[in-house]
A = this chain, B = another copy of it.
Amino acid sequence: MRTKHRAEVSVRLRLADDARIGPGKIALLEGVGRSGSIAAAGRDMNMSYRRAWLLIDSLNRMFDEPVVFASPGGANGGGAELSALGRSLVAAYRAMEAETEAAIERHFAPLRARLTQPGEPTPEPKATQAD
């Protein structure tokens, strides 16, 4: 069931001094999981390979196990995949984000009714799109 929420949310958290997680890193990890490639995941987000690699590297140093395993080189430019820890990180973030969205719905409903610019009119239901 798709809840009719219009609020978009972005949660950034800092687990320790240099351990920051936000929607960009999580989307990049999801892209690696889908494409099997750091380069392809970065391209999908209009990100240079260098930037994508640096973000993954920072995540890999954050925990006691890498979140992405990458094999360099080879005819196809190497491949990459999420570790179990990487999958756990994505799942934790998305579960927390869903709870945050529910909390926003709950707490902001009365305020949303008072917006001067109430956003787009409710669109026609349509086939599932990429979120």
Neighbour of A12 across the interface among B10, B89, B117, B119, CB < 8 A: B10
Main SS of the interface on chain A?
Answer: mixed
- The CA of A111 and the CA of B9, in the complex, are separated in Å by 22
Q: Which residues of B contact A18 (CB under 8 A)?
A: 117
- In this complex, how many residues of chain A approach chain B with their Cβ under 8 Å: the count is 43
Binary per-residue interface labels of chain A (92-131) against chain B in the complex, 1 for a CB within 8 Å, 0 otherwise: 1101100110011011101110111111100000000000
Within 8 A of B (CB), among A5-28: 6-19
Chain A residues with CB under 8 Å of chain B are: 6-19, 61-65, 85, 88-89, 92-93, 95-96, 99-100, 103-104, 106-108, 110-112, 114-120
